[in-house]
């Protein structure tokens, strides 16, 4: 249960102001069809994070626990720094994409590609490696993505105005830094 809750919380916070959240806003404004957009986000996230979780599980079989602990700690500290750098979205990229695959297909494809190498995907790899609980981590990170992105699709800019993004980024950075230090200090 801890792997699920930590994964959900970390990804929900990490996703605030992220490029995929901005992409959700752009798609919602462009297509004005929230259900296919939310379903596309869900399918893309589930596929992307399932692959990332599998990579994390594979790493635990490949790398010694001590080495993995150092990699995990360093990665979380790097994520803390990365959280302080706000993402920007090339709005023309979404505009150039014709709804050739429909709203659902376009959303799923754009989200899957936008998540490649993103901080939430990297967090999923590291959380799966840390907790050795693939299903709980993938379920938690997928829920975290949905908690952060679905409201944006339905409520648009009003959601992002409720809490200053800078505060969310700082809190997220502190959480990642805490996890990084804990991974380096606490022997598993």
In tens, the pLDDT along 25-69 reads 878 877 878 999 999 999 999 999 999 999 888 887 888 878 877
Provide the pLDDT confidence category of residue 9 given band limits of 50, 70 and 90.
very high
- What tokens does 27 get? 């798609």
Distance CA 36, CA 31 (A): 10
Distances (CA, A) of 55 to 40, 51, 114, 139: 23, 6, 18, 15
pTM metric for this prediction = 0.72
Q: According to the model, what pLDDT value does residue 87 have?
A: 56
Distances (CA, A) of 137 to 34, 64, 90: 26, 20, 30
Which residue reads 């594979």 in tokens? Answer: 58
- Mean local confidence (pLDDT), 65-89: 74
């Amino acid at each position: 249960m801890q792997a699920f809750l930590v994964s959900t919380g970390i990804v929900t916070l990490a996703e605030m102001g992220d490029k995929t959240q901005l992409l959700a806003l752009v798609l919602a404004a462009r297509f004005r069809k929230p259900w296919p957009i939310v379903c596309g986000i869900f399918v893309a996230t589930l596929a992307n994070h399932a692959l990332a979780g599998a990579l994390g599980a594979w790493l635990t079989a490949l790398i010694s626990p001590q080495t993995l602990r150092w990699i995990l700690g360093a990665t979380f500290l790097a994520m803390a720094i990365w959280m302080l750098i706000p993402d920007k979205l090339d709005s023309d990229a979404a505009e150039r994409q014709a709804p050739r695959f429909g709203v659902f297909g376009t959303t799923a494809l754009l989200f899957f590609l936008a998540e490649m190498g993103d901080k939430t995907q990297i967090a999923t790899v590291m959380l799966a490696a840390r907790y050795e609980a693939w299903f709980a981590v993938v379920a938690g990170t997928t829920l975290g993505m949905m908690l952060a992105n679905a409201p944006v699709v339905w409520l648009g800019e009003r959601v992002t105005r409720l809490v200053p993004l800078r505060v969310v980024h700082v809190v997220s950075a502190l959480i990642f830094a805490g996890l990084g230090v804990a991974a380096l200090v606490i022997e598993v």
